[in-house]
Amino acid sequence: MVLKVITYPNKNLFMKSKPVENFDENLHKFLDDLYDTMRAYDGIGISAIQVDKPIRAMLVLIPRQSQELDENGEFIAEQFKEDLLEIINPQFIELEGEQICKEGCLSVPDFYEDVKRAKSIKLKFFDRFGKEQILSADGLKAVCIQHEYDHLEGHLFIEKIGYTKRKKFDKDYKAKIKELKAKSEN
């Protein structure tokens, strides 16, 4: 079931999410709905607060490209796979280096900007069954996990862009909301 995604400036996006306590059927149903929602909106990451549920859970779905080779190592085909991560009650163990990546957010539609984050991370979290997991990541996967972690803390990526870019964003976003409101009233 696809859930409704709340968008900026909805103030619930600035709430700190609470740890998950029960790894039960209700949680599993919710995670499945969160997945349907991420897919429906074409996201690579989503956190529970974005569907107005302030619990410390996120999904990350990063595409992975690999080459299918035959027994002689000759190229057969390009394969496109993706790894789904269900991350509950995460805690960073390591944050190292720096990288800059253009980010977007389902809760800030049609806006993309460069954000500086750690290059590689090590994370402790729980899966949907309450089993503890350890994960190392870099590149886009590390960026996405840090972006979603910020949601759990009540932060958005627009808080991490420079002052001038933020001012321009505020102006453009307000104008866009006004325009959408005028359209819906016609």
Strand partners, 112: none
Binding mask 82-111 for Co ion (x = CB under 5 A): -----------------------x------
109 binds, among ligand QAP, Co ion, none (CB under 5 to 8 A by kind): ligand QAP
Instruction: Tell me if residue 148 is catalytic.
Output: yes
Closest C-alpha to 117, from 155, 147, 162: 147
> H-type helices in the chain, by residue range?
25-40, 139-152, 163-185
Establish whether 105 is an annotated binding residue.
yes
CA-CA distance, 129 to 138, in Å (whole number)? 25
Establish whether 155 is an annotated binding residue.
no
Interacting residues toward ligand QAP by CB under 6 A: 41-45, 101, 103-106, 109-110, 143-144, 147
The torsion region of residue 172 among left (phi > 0), alpha (psi -120 to 50) and beta comes to alpha
152 belongs to the binding site for Co ion (CB under 5 A): no
CB atoms within 10 A of CB 46: 27
- Backbone phi, psi, residue 156, to 5°: -115, 155
The active-site residue, picked from 71, 148, 159, 185, is: 148
Between 122 and 155, CB nearer to Co ion: 155
Chain residue whose CB lies nearest Co ion: 105
Known binding positions: 105, 147, 151
Known binding positions for Fe cation: 105, 147, 151
Catalytic machinery residues: 148
